[in-house]
Structures are given as structure tokens and as C-alpha cells.
Copies of this chain bind each other. A is one copy, B any other.
Amino acid sequence: MSHKVRIALDAMGGDHGAAVVLAGADLSLTRHPDTSFILVGDEAVIGPLLANRPALRAASRVVHTDVAIKMDEKPSQALRHGRWRSSMWLAIDAVKKGEADVAVSAGNTGALMAMAKFHLRMMPGVSRPAIACLWPTLRGESIVLDVGASIGADVQHLVQLAIMGSAMASVVFDLERPTVGLLNVGVEEVKGLEEIRAASQVLRGTACGHMDFKGFVEGDDIGAGTVDVVVTEGFTGNIALKTAEGTAKQLASYLKSAMSRTLAAKIGYLFARQAFKTLKDKMDPRKVNGGVFLGLNGVVIKSHGGTDAEGFAAAVDLGYDMARYELLAKIGRTLGQSAAPAAAGEVAS
């Protein structure tokens, strides 16, 4: 890809709407000047915000609509009233029409997935979509998928998740052969679900140039960074992700209260404040903001709805990487190569 990376933004999405979206885009633009934006939303809102951001204005084209999807709208409702004309739909539509390489929205996850599926359709060879996220680990970052797009997974879907996740890891982490693990439990003799065992056999049997399959991993392997890509179906993945977020919040709260309880602790905090800042940065959920919708004919990134400009910029950066390093082409190639063994798995399962 030699042209600019073209990113369509749902300017009205998220808890804070256009102010955060535009500030985030501006920030990302300083890091990737070879980006152009399509800003979809209410011109009356976007116009004044762009006035103070000349660099962003120069890199952007505004597509007006006054229909925005609410954060609490049901996906079916959103699809009914927002199709063809909402800012979310039109951002996805820009990808569909080839006017943008990627769409980013901080809006309602369910509505975004429903519209993306409806409009972009599944890639050939992929049965269901997935959401992949970056997960900070002791070794850096890993990719975990699916964190909530589809509930349950058969052998085929688990194998597809491994393929899509490893393609994404090769793009994001610049790795030739990312390591991949299947999330499982370790306490039972006959470990885990039938389909996970079967998927493991298929993945072991695949002579994979593009992934290094390491077998099963457990919940505590995610944070340890044992593998680059952790594969699981969306129910378990979503619960693992939110459980980890809850645990991080809980420990941050313990730390805060411990550090403010006594005078000595407060003095200690002052001395160590740079260290606490480093720690806070390390735990900053904004830095790994952005769920990548995988399996569709187009790249869509979901930003956390409640994030700020820094967080939204991280989601835009992620979209930039996905487009610049040609995620979809990589997934397509790998799916093609893996078609034979995946089909064998279908027979075996």
C-alpha cells in the first residue's frame, strides 16, 4: 500500500462524541502523517471543532448526517433506524465502497457489529466474526480473541480464530510465526471441551508456516504472555477480559487506599511518585484500546465508548496498522493455505 491510509471515523460515536473523536484523530495524525480521514457526523458539530485543528482539517473530508446511533440502542433497532444514514453506517459504508481502508467507532458494540456484518459480509472461508483485543502481558502484549462477537465455537471456527489471530499478530507485532495457544482448563483428566481438543488436533496437524501452535494454555497464561495469540470462543473470552479488567481496577483501588492511609505511606508515595506514574502508564487501559472486528470483508475497529482522546487515538493507530500492513490480505492468504487441513478437521470432528 503506497497511498495514504484512509480512515473513516464515526464522529458521533462514544460517550463523549465528536470532541473526543476529533481530538483522538488529531493525535493519531501527528504519529501517522500519511493518514487521511473521512469524518462522518453532524457538520454543525464537527465544523467548529475542526476550526481549531488545521492539520486534521487539511487531512479530512466531512460527510454529513444528523442520524447517530445511541449507546443503549439494541442492535436490531439500530439496524432498522440507522441503516443507510447513521454516522456509524456511513463510516462502514466508506469501507464497503473502497473509499476508506478501515472504519473506527466508539459507538455501541452490538450495533457496530450488526451493521458491519450486514454491510461488509463475512470473508470467504470464515463462518462467524470475532473481536480481537490487545492484552498487556508480562512479556509485552498478546492478542486475545474472540472477546465477545460470537458465543460458542465449533472446531472450524476455533481454527479460523487461530488463523485470523496469528495474521493480526504478524501485523501488529511484526512476527513471522506468532505463537498460538488454545484457552482451556487444566484440572480435568479429559481436558476441556470436545471441540477444543479437536481444534488442537487440527492445528497440530497443520504444517503451518504462519503460526507456531503451542497447544493449550490456561487463564493465568494470558497475563504471563505465554503465547502471542490466545484463542477462545466469545463467551469465555469476554468473561476473561472483563474479569481481568475488574481485577486490575480492584488492585489499583487497594494500592490507592494503602498509599493514603498513613503519613509514612503518603511520604513514601511522594518519593516514589515517578515509579507510580510508570506503573499507572503500564496499567493504562487507554493504551491498548481498540477491538478489531475480524472475519469481515473490511476492517472495523471498536474503541471503548468511555475513552478520552488518548484512548481513541490508540484505536485509530490500531486501525492504521491494520490497513498499512494489510491485515485482510494476510488473513485471506493464510485461510487459503489452511483450507485443506481445515477441511480435514471438519471431517474428523
Contact = CB atoms under 8 A, between A and B. Distances in A.
Interface of A: 74-76, 109-110, 113-114, 136-138, 148, 151-152, 183, 185-189, 192-193, 218-224, 232, 234-236, 238-251, 253-255, 258-259, 261-262, 264-265, 267-276, 278-279, 282-283
A255 B255 contact: yes
Contacts of A152: 193
A267 to B, nearest CB: 5
B245 A110 contact: no
A107 B151 CA distance: 35
A271 B110 CA distance: 48
A23 to B, nearest CB: 26
Contact of A218 (B242, B254, B272, B283): B242
Contacts of A151: 185, 188, 192-193
A187 B279 contact: no
A219 B267 CA distance: 35
Contacts of A274: 262, 264-265
Nearest to A243: B219
A188 B110 contact: yes
Contacts of A74: 189
21 contacts: A74-B189, A148-B185, A148-B188, A151-B192, A151-B193, A152-B193, A185-B238, A185-B239, A219-B240, A219-B245, A223-B243, A223-B247, A224-B246, A236-B239, A247-B251, A255-B255, A258-B279, A264-B275, A265-B274, A268-B268, A271-B271
Nearest to A193: B151
B262 A275 contact: yes
A74 B109 CA distance: 43
B219 A238 contact: yes
A54 to B, nearest CB: 38
Contact of A137 (B185, B250, B267): B250
